[in-house]
Amino acid sequence: MNFTPIFSPLRQITRILISETQITTQTCQYAAPGGLLAKMKKGKKAPAQSVGKIVLPVETDAKKLVSFVCGSNILKEGGEDVKIKPDSEYPEWLWNIRIGSPPKLEELDKNTKAYWRKLRKQGLRRNNLQSKYTL
């Protein structure tokens, strides 16, 4: 007896059903984590990071504080801090430097770039604040 003709339609039906209901799995192949995370995943503990504060020596000698710019020596060995010169040794523009708050818009001349930059900056700031609070 030949049973193939009876089972062949069943085989075709099962093939169709299995192929339609076949579940596919997708794997993500991301790059392996590196650095500290990779070491921790391998079962090792995280390396200890020592964060210690460096205590810098503070100059207390009044004569040295008055006559030298303390901390200006960048050399590791040797060298000396910069000695403070009399005021007449420094250029005149040094004493005219503005050290306070920046000038207001009213104090600037309208024919300068600084005026127009400041005006534009204030306008942008105003527009950003308005758009932030209005929906």
Contact (Cβ atoms closer than 8 angstroms) between residue 36 and residue 46: yes
Number of Cβ within a 10 Å radius of residue 40 = 13
pLDDT of residue 11: 75
Q: Which residue has the higher pLDDT, 124 or 11?
A: 124
Tens digit of pLDDT for each residue in 52-106?
A: 888 888 889 999 999 999 989 889 888 899 999 999 999 999 999 989 999 999 9
What is the identity of the amino acid at 100? G
CA 11: distance to chain centroid?
Answer: 64
Residue in the structure block whose two tokens are 């309208």: 110
All structural domains of the chain with their residue ranges: 62-133
pTM for this entry: 0.40
